Amino acid sequence: MARMNGMTRRSAGGALLGAVALAMLGGGAALAQDTVTLGAVLPLSGASATIGEDQRRGIELAVEKVNADGGVLGRKLAVAVEDSGGRAQSAIDAARKLVSVSKTPVVIGEYSSGNTIPVGQYLQREGIVHINPGSSSPVIKTIGDRSFSTIGLDDVAGKFTAQAVYGMGHRKAVFLAPNNAYGQGVYSETKAAFEALGGQVVANLLYTEGQSNYRRELQRIAAAKPDVIIYSGYGQEAATINREAFELGLSKTPWFGIYLSMCTADSRPETVEGQMGMEVNYVGPDGAWYRDAYKKKFGKEFATTFSGYTYDAVMMAAAAINKAGSAEPAKIREALAALGDYAGATGPIAFDAQGQRKTQPYIVVSYKGGELKTAAK
Amino acid sequence: MLEFCLHVLIMSAIFGIAAVSLNLQAGTGGLLNFGQIALFGIGAYAVAILTRAGLPWPAALPAGMAAAALGGFAIGRLGRDLAAEYWALATLAVAELVRLVALNEDWLTGGPQGIGGIVGLFPGLDGVARALATLALAALLLLGTALMARRLGQTQFGRVLRLMRENPDLATALGHDIVACKVKVLAIGGAMAGLAGGLYTLYLAFIGPDQLLPFETFLIWTMVVLGGLGNVAGAVVGAMLVTTLYAGIPFLKDAVALPSDLTGSLRVFAIGSIVLAVLMLKPQGLVPERLRRLHAQRP
Amino acid sequence: MIQILIDTLIRTSDLALIALGLNLSYGVSRFPNVAHVEMAPLGAAVALAVAALFPGGGLVGAAVAGALAAGLAAMLLHRFAFERLAGAGPASALIGSLAIAMMLRAGLQAVFGTRPQQFDTPLTPPHDLWGAILSDLQIAAIAITAVCLIGFFAMLRLTPLGRSIRAIAANPALATASGIDARRVTLVTVFLGGTLAGIGGILLALVTQLDIGMGQMLLLPVFAAAIVGGLGSLPGAVIGAFAIALAETLVMRIDFGLLAADGPRYLPLGYLTGIGFALIVVTLVYRPEGLLSRGGRRA
């Protein structure tokens, strides 16, 4: 009896492994001939899942748009989305799967610099086109000639923020952002630009994400008595911070949000009323269509700012494929580099010699009566 | 597809080394080290920092191992007189502190941006040739580590370790210095974990603080427990199984059409359920430890 | 000064109930259950769903439903998974609980999505209590936590069930010999532990919002509280939560620049979460069994 039992157990384990192996073999063959498939590696689970899901939505919108307009090379466009779980190793596994099994000529990804850099380096070595839609670390510049960014790196965003805040007459700022590659990058660039203008950053508060409350952080702000609080945070952290700041009476100090729509997306409207901030051109006159399309499709405001960049990444890749008349990675790379000015959801995009987004138009916005409004500049 | 399989094999070999190291500490010595990723990370960061400074990898790798051995020595000293489960949780705390240092001391570790652009293994080779060379190196090192762990298990030292696992009081009564044994096995295990970490950095050409999250320790534990605690071959099998699972699960998604907004949850769910299924069906692991008589050769 | 006390109390009430639930379950099941913290988002998510489905039912009804759901889930998991896993040793049970935690997290994400959700509660202007600022909901959360704690410890001291729980935690064999149905009491205890975690999660969601990934974020602080207080010790869990909250609040306020010329110098915020881990290490070095515990030091 015991022996029988052991046998069944072993075969159960074997069946599980067999299923995985079968799926591995079968997966590659599932691609139809009449589609051009691009790849994307996004953090759909793990700590950055909210952002990953928003990035995926941008891709979904773009694929619908491209196919509604006739697809690429007369074929349908598809994007195979893989989950990185927010881990570098899973991200690289996913990129390798896309390249060596699904044979995608372009891979879009990831969000966190710690994953984007190794994925980009791998794609560069393999000669596959890499489009970075979410990381802003300056290290991205060094990946190589196959790598492009649709997002402006931190130096661009930091300089804009510093000028806007200084222009409002604030001189003494505290800086509040998540302690990750994004927060640290945007902090050091903003601080440098703000101090070059003559302002002063009296406290930098790079907080650990996912805490149950941020009172300790916020009390340090109160102690520093700043003119302005420059901050950034993803939906849920920002909502907690805004609520607690409101409850601590800190909302009397002016707040300036970097990517304000992201900072206010999940916050209660009362807690962020009157906040100023910088934003990608979605809310401006020539970018509002994207925000409307997103709202129509998903029934909600942006959870983060990052969906527009994946949208633009897919649109530009599709444009480059059509321009090259081929889905060969080398041809797509050339076409992308020569695409010139592209009118994207996040504003006009042009690449510099390193494949990075040369300029990114930002606008100053304010939160009034439950929505973001373009502020007179 | 070939390249992808090579990649999975390389990763299996690298994590195999880390799993053999943990198996030596936990399986043979009964030391529940929940800070294994810190030893791995010390090796990884040491190699990254040294190669960034211009040292070639054959020199950086042993240095990384030495640094990780020192780390193992330190956590061994820390837990001198703690009960097993308390020591286990103390190692988890130490590992988190190591990660926080990696995250916050950007002058040394690159902070949250990590250290990238490392000149990896065999920069002269390309594509499949490079993957094959890397695999050969990793497999060779895994073999060496596994043989060494096996030999250690058969020596007098290994028997004392097992005695320490089963009955620490008896080991003390027989005149063995438990603390010295602990420290020694952690230093050896640390060097092995450091080797795995160093290889990992060199292969991926990148290391960042997110690679040191406690989840990664749990992952190595999963390998050892699935494979069968206490058996060197089990650790290697477990590492292969878990690595293949992580790399292979996304293919399951392609076989069944699912809305892509469920991709993330599906992957995590599938991994969790397979691990759970193996644990429930084969509680002693896939390659259980062969029981030896502890008192066969009493000192 | 009052502000420090209030900040400490708020943070304590974030952790205390969940840590208490963890130690309660540990006392009868004897392994650190990683999946326990997932009962917090589970309870909160169910409460939110009930509140949305039955808008007339009121907040209290929804909260009770959420807490009971968390308790039920914990009990079912224990009955159908952990009882079996625990037979293969604490390491298997721990890895199994990790696998279950992954499955729960993935399931919650698939059902409830990744966006945070809020209870429909009024946002009231803050109160100023002798210089310390706090909101109605924060006062309510601290009060509810206190009431739950008092009620729980009263139950433990005064009822037959409480006596059975204590008997089993102290010595299962003896308890069974004296006629206690150990299995039934264990299930009830695990149910209580899950309910406590569920209430903790609901309070967290109430004061700010429900973050479906909160289990992952709570894992280490809650374990830190449980360890500092002493694994399995019930008052220890609460004291541990308070100790960690106090240490975090104080250390973040100490001005290390008192002797330096150029203004205040604080510990970088990046190390805030490290304070709990440092406290674990320090506690275990000086009190190897946690602040309160029945033995843990190796004899």
DSSP letter string, C233-277:
-HHHHHHHHHHHHHHHHHHHH--TTTTSSSS-----GGGHHHHHH
Q: For residue B183, is it within any domain? A: yes
Q: Do A210 and C213 touch (CB under 8 A)?
A: yes
Q: Do C118 and A219 touch (CB under 8 A)?
A: no
Structure tokens at B237: 């099998």
Q: Do C274 and B32 touch (CB under 8 A)?
A: no
End-to-end CA distance of chain C: 42
Instruction: Give the gap in angstroms from C-alpha B39 to the nearest C-alpha of chain C.
Output: 17
Q: How many residues does chain A have?
A: 377
Instruction: Give the gap in angstroms from C-alpha A323 to the nearest C-alpha of chain B.
Output: 28
Q: For residue B159, is it within any domain? A: yes
Q: Would you place residue A369 in the very low, low, confident or very high pLDDT band (cuts 50, 70, 90)?
A: confident
Alpha carbons C197 and C205: distance in angstroms, whole number: 12
Q: Do A220 and C209 touch (CB under 8 A)?
A: no
Q: Please, is A206 exposed, middle or buried when counting C-beta atoms within 10 Å of its C-beta (0-12, 13-18, 19+)? A: buried
Contact present, A282 and A295 (Cβ < 8 Å): no
Q: Which helix (H) or strand (E) holds C208?
A: none
Q: Is C55 on the interface with B (CB under 8 A)?
A: no
Q: Is C99 on the interface with B (CB under 8 A)?
A: yes
How many alpha carbons lie under 13 Å from residue B122 in its C-beta half-sphere? Answer: 16
Among B261, B265, B271, the strongest candidate for a mutation testing the C interface, having the largest count of C CBs within 10 A, is B265
Q: Is A240 on the interface with C (CB under 8 A)?
A: yes
Residues of A in contact with C7 (CB under 8 A): 215-216, 219
Alpha carbons C174 and A236: distance in angstroms, whole number: 49
Alpha carbons C108 and A133: distance in angstroms, whole number: 27
Q: Enumerate residues 117 to 176 of chain A having a beta carbon within 8 A of any beta carbon in chain B.
A: 117-118, 121, 125-126, 137, 139, 142
Q: Would you place residue A139 in the very low, low, confident or very high pLDDT band (cuts 50, 70, 90)?
A: confident
Residue for token digits 């080394």?
A: B17
Contact present, A113 and A137 (Cβ < 8 Å): yes
> Across-strand partners of A132?
A149
Among B37, B207, B223, B267, the strongest candidate for a mutation testing the A interface, having the largest count of A CBs within 10 A, is B267
User: DSSP label at A232?
Assistant: -
Q: Do C116 and A268 touch (CB under 8 A)?
A: no
Q: Do A21 and B248 touch (CB under 8 A)?
A: yes
Structure tokens at A294: 């997103």
Lowest mean pLDDT among A255-259, A366-370, B288-292: B288-292
- Interval B116-150: pLDDT, tens: 778 888 888 877 898 999 999 999 999 999 999 99
Which amino acid appears at position A34 of this protein? Answer: D
Q: Do C103 and B273 touch (CB under 8 A)?
A: yes
Q: Is A46 on the interface with B (CB under 8 A)?
A: yes
Q: Is C115 on the interface with B (CB under 8 A)?
A: no
Residues of A in contact with C140 (CB under 8 A): none
Helix, strand, coil % over all residues of chain C, rounded to 5: 75, 5, 25
Instruction: State the residue range of the domain holding B50.
Output: 2-210
Q: Find the mean pLDDT for residues C144-171.
A: 93
pLDDT at B88: 82
Q: Which helix (H) or strand (E) holds C42?
A: helix C39-53
> Across-strand partners of A37?
A78
Q: Do B117 and A139 touch (CB under 8 A)?
A: yes
Residue for token digits 């000192």?
A: B299
Phi/psi of residue A365, each to 5°?
A: -130, 165
Which amino acid appears at position A217 of this protein? Answer: E
Neighbours of B175 (CB within 10 A): 7
Average pLDDT for chain B: 88
Alpha carbons A123 and B184: distance in angstroms, whole number: 42
Instruction: Give the gap in angstroms from C-alpha B95 to the nearest C-alpha of chain A.
Output: 17
Q: How many residues does chain C have?
A: 299
Phi/psi of residue B115, each to 5°?
A: -115, 120
- Interval A357-367: pLDDT, tens: 988 888 899 99
Q: Is B284 on the interface with C (CB under 8 A)?
A: yes
Q: Who among B215, B244, B263 is closest to A81 (CB)?
A: B263
Q: For residue B231, is it within any domain? A: no
Contacts of A258-261 with CB under 8 Å at 24 or more apart are: A258/A157, A258/A161, A258/A177, A258/A186, A258/A190, A258/A230, A258/A231, A258/A232, A259/A232, A259/A304, A259/A305, A260/A365, A260/A367, A260/A372, A261/A301, A261/A302, A261/A305, A261/A365, A261/A372
Alpha carbons A211 and C249: distance in angstroms, whole number: 14
Q: For residue B275, is it within any domain? A: no
Q: Which residues lie closer than 8 Å to C40 by C-beta, 6 or more apart?
A: C18, C70, C197, C198, C200, C201, C204, C214, C215, C218
- Interval C263-295: pLDDT, tens: 556 777 888 888 888 988 888 888 777 777 554
Q: Would you place residue A17 in the very low, low, confident or very high pLDDT band (cuts 50, 70, 90)?
A: low
Residues of C in contact with A220 (CB under 8 A): 252, 266, 269
Q: Is B264 on the interface with A (CB under 8 A)?
A: yes
Q: Which helix (H) or strand (E) holds A40?
A: strand A35-42
Q: Higher model confidence: residue A303 or residue C152?
A: C152
Which amino acid appears at position C72 of this protein? Answer: L
Residue of A nearest to B269 (CA): A45
Q: What is the DSSP string of A269-293?
A: HHHHTT-EEEEEGGGSTTTHHHHHH
pLDDT at C4: 86
Q: Is the pLDDT of residue A34 over 50?
A: yes
Q: For residue B272, is it within any domain? A: no
Q: Is B268 on the interface with C (CB under 8 A)?
A: yes
Q: Would you place residue C256 in the very low, low, confident or very high pLDDT band (cuts 50, 70, 90)?
A: low
How many structural domains does chain B have? 1
Percentage of chain A with pLDDT > 90? 45
Alpha-helix runs per DSSP H in chain B: 2-22, 36-52, 57-78, 84-104, 106-109, 127-154, 156-166, 168-173, 178-204, 214-227, 232-255, 263-281
Alpha carbons A246 and A342: distance in angstroms, whole number: 41
Q: Is A269 on the interface with C (CB under 8 A)?
A: no
- Interval C177-231: pLDDT, tens: 888 888 899 999 999 999 999 999 999 999 888 888 888 888 889 998 988 888 8
Q: For residue B100, is it within any domain? A: yes
Q: How far is CA A83 from CA A90, A91, B240, B268, in A?
A: 8, 7, 21, 10
Q: Find the mean pLDDT for residues C2-6.
A: 86
Q: Do B283 and C92 touch (CB under 8 A)?
A: yes
Contact present, C256 and C266 (Cβ < 8 Å): yes
Maximal CA-CA distance, chain C: 70
Q: Which residues lie closer than 8 Å to B265 by C-beta, 6 or more apart?
A: A44, A45, C106, C107, C109, C110
Q: Do A266 and C115 touch (CB under 8 A)?
A: yes
How many Cβ contacts (< 8 angstroms) between chains B and C?
143
Q: Do C134 and A247 touch (CB under 8 A)?
A: yes
Q: How far is CA C88 from CA A6, A11, C82, C92, C183, in A?
A: 16, 21, 10, 6, 18
Alpha carbons C222 and C197: distance in angstroms, whole number: 10
Residue for token digits 């694929």?
A: A63
Alpha carbons C28 and C31: distance in angstroms, whole number: 9
Q: Is C76 on the interface with A (CB under 8 A)?
A: no
Q: For residue B227, is it within any domain? A: no
Q: For residue B103, is it within any domain? A: yes
